[in-house]
Amino acid sequence: MGRGMARGSGQSEPGQSERPGPGPSDPGRRRWLMLVLGTGSQTVACAFVYGVPYLVPQLRDGERLSLAQAGLVVGAPTLGLVLALVGWGALADRYGERLVLGGGLLLSALLLCGVRFTHGAVALGVVFVLAGAAGASVFAASGRVVMGWFSRRERGLAMGVRQISTPLGMGIAALLVPPLAERFGLRTTVLVLAAMMAAVAVTAGLLVVDPPRPVATAAGPGGGRAVNPYRGAVLWRIHGASALLVWPQFTISAFGLLFLVDVRGWSATSAGQVMALGQALGAASRIGTGVWSDRVGSRLRPMRQLAAATGVLLVALGLAALRPSAVSDLLLVAACGLTASTNGLSFTAIAERAGPGRCGRAGRWGCRTPGRTWSDRWHRQRSDGWSAPPTTRPGSCCRRPWPGSPSG
């Protein structure tokens, strides 16, 4: 991320005139209610997406799926997200958040109910792909609520709050799904997640109010066609940096539980609690960095500094993992928190440069989900060579001795 990108991050795109309506400057509480509803919607969607990997033991033992088939089912919700994000973003830009949040999330919940009548890798994969695509609606609405209801001096905090939905969803999945699946099985667990999503969808549909449209939108020289924010290199560079920074976040999330269970010998429940603690730190870090960016008036300056700190921490974690101990456990929790800290900054910078009329689509071109897709794909490809005899422990489908750990 160069200096040119930093200079442009705090300013509007040339030719843009962002004069919001009464919503952002309204000191009332409505905007905070909208933020809570949007955050809750995305949290339950994340609980589904990140809860599916915890169902691997049930997929293998109950559904008799091979390791490769289980991996494909686990990746199905992410595939649906990737395919539908930009389309939902365009709908959010055109029709507003209420339809996108309530309708998409409710559709996802209804599709998940189909798990009750499906068996096998293909049928389950199709259901999860469709449910993931429908649930992508809540991910596509992030930029609009911030751009529409909050002024620039509050956007860092607002986006930080909105972005805690990912670690909160991960934490809920880590705490809820393993014990629920172990006791009641795959289908009941998925139906519980669907019920949560349906309840939040109905609440959002009833209470969400679309943010006011800006008085003036982006225009080209002489008031002509709107300026395309992607004609320059700045947004593409922010997207690229976001992808690179998100890769370690999802790698830690994917392999952290595996490390604690298979290498450190923790129980699945205890390991899930530790990972939930790490996600709680990630949620706090997103809010803190949002407030920081508001105070310094820049999104990219804190982003660069946090990127450097993340690199140092990951090197330390890698060295500590060579000889696993309590130090590596603490560094793993710290990495869960720090690697999640930059998401809100990148999405706020993208939304501000794209403008209110394009922030839904622009935000979804962000590379967070592709970063997770690459990590998941790499994980599944390697897992074929790391498999052990079937067991009910989460993560045991991909066992490989960590350097310095017992091989037996």
Q: What is the pLDDT confidence band of residue 280, given thresholds at 50, 70 and 90?
A: confident
- Give the whole-angstrom CA distance, residue 374 versus residue 366: 14
pLDDT of 77 = 94
Structure tokens at 362: 């622009």
Q: Amino acid identity, residue 39? A: T
Please state, for a pLDDT cut of 90, what percent of the chain lies above it: 28
Over range 61-75, report the average pLDDT: 88
Per-domain boundaries in the chain: 24-215+230-398
Query: How many CA atoms within 13 Å lie on the side-chain side of 352?
Result: 27
In terms of pLDDT, which residue wins out, 20 or 104?
Answer: 104
**CB 156, CB 291: distance < 8 Å:** yes
Contacts from 58-61 at CB under 8 Å and sequence distance 24+? 58/181, 58/185, 58/186, 58/189, 59/124, 59/186, 60/390, 60/397, 61/390, 61/392
**CB 336, CB 275: distance < 8 Å:** yes
- Give the whole-angstrom CA distance, residue 55 versus residue 73: 10
In terms of pLDDT, which residue wins out, 89 or 41?
Answer: 41
- Give the whole-angstrom CA distance, residue 306 versus residue 318: 18
Distance of CA 192 to the CA centre of its chain: 21
The 10 Å Cβ neighbour count of residue 88 is 25
Q: What is the pLDDT of residues 352-390, one digit of tens each?
A: 776 655 555 444 444 444 444 444 444 444 443 333 333
Q: Amino acid identity, residue 254? A: A
Residue 4 reports pLDDT greater than 70: no
pLDDT of 317 = 93
Residue 320 reports pLDDT greater than 50: yes
pLDDT of 379 = 45
Mean pLDDT comparison of 53-62, 86-95, 109-118, highest-scoring range: 109-118
Query: Terminal CA-to-CA distance of the chain, rounded, Å?
Result: 45
pLDDT of 367 = 41
Q: What is the pLDDT confidence band of residue 3, given thresholds at 50, 70 and 90?
A: very low
- Give the whole-angstrom CA distance, residue 287 versus residue 337: 11
Residue 1 reports pLDDT greater than 50: no
Q: What is the pLDDT confidence band of residue 271, given thresholds at 50, 70 and 90?
A: confident
- Give the whole-angstrom CA distance, residue 165 versus residue 233: 29
Q: Mean pLDDT score of the chain, rounded to an integer?
A: 76
Lowest mean pLDDT of 110-114, 227-231, 290-294, name the range.
227-231
Residues whose CB falls within 8 Å of the CB of residue 86, separated by 6 or more in sequence, listed in order? 140, 361, 364, 365
The domain covering 24-215+230-398 belongs, at the CATH homologous superfamily level, to: MFS general substrate transporter like domains (1.20.1250.20)
Residue 132 reports pLDDT greater than 90: yes
| CA angle 352–296–281, rounded 5-degree value | 85
Lowest mean pLDDT of 8-17, 148-157, 288-297, 320-329, name the range.
8-17
Residue 7 reports pLDDT greater than 80: no
Lowest mean pLDDT of 65-69, 271-275, 318-322, name the range.
271-275
